[in-house]
Amino acid sequence: MTPSSRFNKHIFSDRNLNLVIGMAAALIAFLMVLAYLFYGNAKDHLYNVSLHKYQQQLDMDIQGLIKDSRESTMALALALAENNRVQSLLCDDCNKQNEMVLSALLERLAFHTRHRNLWIQVIDKDGFSRYRSWTNKIGDNLKGVREDLRRVLLAPRIYQSVSVGRFSMTFKAMVPLFADDHKLLGVIEVISHFSNLAQELQKSTGVESVILADDRFQQQLDKNQTKLFVDNYYVVNGDANPSNLNILASIGVNEAFRAHTQLEVGHKIITQHMIRNDESLPIGYWFTFSDMANLDLVELERLQKQYLYGLMTLLVLSILLVLLYVFKERSDKSSRYYQSVLDSASEIIFVSDSESILEANQRFFEFYDEFDSLQEFVDAYPCVCDTFANEEGYLTTGVDFKHCINKVLQGDAKQNKAKIYKHRKAYFFEIKIAKINIFDKPLYSVIMHDITHQEVYKKQLEQLSRTDNLTGISNRLVFNQALATEVQRAHRYHQVFCLAIFDIDHFKRINDNYGHAAGDQVLIALTEEVQSLLRETDVFSRIGGEEFTVIMPETKIEQALQSVERVRRAIENMHRDGLPDSVTLSFGVAEISRWDSHETLLKRADDALYRAKRNGRNRVEIAKEASA
């Protein structure tokens, strides 16, 4: 190879290398630009996603607080309804001591629970206020101004709502009070406030809040507590940050809520959340204000703190469990059995070695009063389980005592409850079993706690909550549950069913011309006639004053039309003494589609009903098909 050829080859190699380097540099530069653009887009996207998730999380937190407050308000109302001192406030000569005791109870509740400003009102069966915790004013009749109270007194049942009154926007829970003979004494009402929720949200997340009642309640709030308004919207939480109120005033409440997305003002992020009542109507708005700089870092730090706190809690719990176990071991070895302790207890208590009853307290023989000794009892019933009733949901007979012990100790039983019939009366017991290891052979202490009163009261409340008081058919609660179940079943198994909704034409005229008593008789007679024409599988419910629904499982629209037309004709031709000569019905019928939820199916049927009204009444209209 000549020197010239070697030189040319070297130049060619350098040129190739430079070309590769240049292409690589260009590719790197292109990738950097692409990465920069991608980073910018990804950053914006992730920022928007973070904001969206942040608003969703806040909405979940707010809805959770509202749900918890509703449930805890109802739980307090149910608990106070069992308090004898509450019922004593309804007596004509009740003393001030009971009021003082109840006031002290409220102070303890405020100290130990989330409710810092809890109001309680006791109302007698005639609608007169007998006690108010927030004022000394009593004795006024509330039936004329409280539609919800009239309904509860007319048809006693538990009732809860979220509403705006004269004082503020609050949670209300009402529970009927009954005498021992099941006669209605009155109602206890527990009222809790939204201001507590704003404080809880700030305490748990660091987010500030402004809660507003809708401007249509401005005139109604004549006794409002905070005296604060923004654009005619009442400020529910009086401790709201004034700077946040100024921001809302500068933006405008309507403009702030119509944004439908997060607002960024300065270094603050503002989110909007609607507050609805039980009829899903908007009654207020919850605005949250948080520092934009803390959007990511605060959440991460909070998560790290929660993890650290959780780890420390688990460590402390582990130590406590070890100490508890050591203490229990020592305590069990040093414990002794005293008959006097057992006899002083109000529960049925006995000790067994899993094969026979060794000892029992006095309450055992008071309940099983047909036996004078344990031996007589054991001769008649080898196991105490043999006295239990064979009913679902309770511990049953037909098993040996070892099996019964294992079910309770291992938690196999869904409920450790027993039902016993004695002297033609049902008694309910909660069964608790503890193992005693201080002897060579393990023993078991069994406690049968009498919960008869609680079970009877619970069943009464459940019945009141699920049945329409006037007609005896299912109420709105049962209808909602049944409709949701049928929609889920239809989508899961690709089955069909129809929903019919109907009401009585010109029912107001019946009430105006014949009186409400006649109107009630029309509702009762109509219910009996319709029920006789339906199948056993159909779910017939009253969901409003004169409004009814029928859920028809495994029924196509053609069959449903035949059924409702038969009902329409039967009612049109129905003649009974004491009832108006002509009663007619208007129907809307809808068949489930693949696109339907229970809300859209009900909406389609309801729209068809109103179309039947517009087209002349006393007719059946088919709902329009659902769209994707």
| pLDDT tens-digit readout, 280-332 | 899 999 998 888 765 654 544 554 566 566 556 666 666 665 565 555 555 54
For the residues 78-107, what does the mean pLDDT come to?
Answer: 73
Those residues with Cβ within 8 angstroms of residue 418's Cβ, 6 or more apart along the chain or in another chain: 385, 388, 389, 394, 395, 428, 429, 431, 448
Candidates 391, 408, 413; CA nearest to 448 is 408
Q: In the prediction, which pLDDT does 316 show? A: 67
Query: Helix (H, G, I), strand (E, B), or coil: what is residue 583?
Result: coil
Rounded Cα gap, residues 245 and 226, in angstroms = 13
Q: Is the pLDDT of residue 98 over 70?
A: no
DSSP state for residue 44 in the 8-state scheme: H
Confirm whether 227 is domain-assigned: yes
Is 359 among the residues known to form the active site? no
Q: In the prediction, which pLDDT does 479 show? A: 94
- Per the structure, the complete domain to which residue 444 belongs is given by 339-457
Same domain for 425 and 490? no
How far is CA 154 from its chain centroid?
A: 24
Same domain for 288 and 345? no
Single residue among 457, 487, 517 that ends a domain in this structure: 457
Q: In the prediction, which pLDDT does 117 show? A: 76
What whole-number percentage of the chain has pLDDT above 90? 27
Single residue among 457, 475, 510 that ends a domain in this structure: 457
Tokens of 17: 């290398």
Single residue among 432, 457, 482 that ends a domain in this structure: 457
Candidates 565, 561, 541, 546; CA nearest to 498 is 561
Same domain for 497 and 601? yes
Rounded Cα gap, residues 54 and 60, in angstroms = 10
Q: Is the pLDDT of residue 520 over 70?
A: yes
Find the CATH number of the domain harbouring 614.
3.30.70.270
Confirm whether 20 is domain-assigned: no
- pTM score: 0.42
- Averaged confidence pLDDT in the chain: 81
Q: Is the pLDDT of residue 38 over 60?
A: no
Confirm whether 343 is domain-assigned: yes
Higher pLDDT, 234 or 336: 234
Q: How do residues 252-280 score in pLDDT, each as one tens digit?
A: 888 877 766 667 777 788 888 889 988 88
Q: How confident is the model at residue 548 (pLDDT cuts 50, 70, 90)?
A: very high
Q: How do residues 460-510 score in pLDDT, each as one tens digit?
A: 666 666 788 899 899 999 999 999 999 999 999 999 999 999 999 999 988
Mean pLDDT is lowest, of 172-176, 188-192, 219-223, 346-350, for: 346-350
Same domain for 124 and 245? yes
Same domain for 125 and 192? yes
Same domain for 243 and 201? yes
Find the CATH number of the domain harbouring 446.
3.30.450.20
Q: In the prediction, which pLDDT does 454 show? A: 78
How far is CA 539 from its chain centroid?
A: 23
Give the end-to-end CA distance of the chain in Å, rounded to a whole number.
80
Same domain for 378 and 498? no
Same domain for 474 and 451? no
Query: Which residue type occupies 233?
Result: Y
Strand partners of residue 129: 123
Q: Is the pLDDT of residue 42 over 50?
A: no
Q: In the prediction, which pLDDT does 97 show? A: 62
Candidate list 208, 546, 591, 621, residue with the active-site label: 546
Q: How do residues 373-408 score in pLDDT, each as one tens digit?
A: 888 888 888 778 778 887 777 777 655 566 677 767
Rounded Cα gap, residues 69 and 58, in angstroms = 16
Same domain for 420 and 487? no
Number of domains in the chain: 3
Q: In the prediction, which pLDDT does 526 show? A: 93
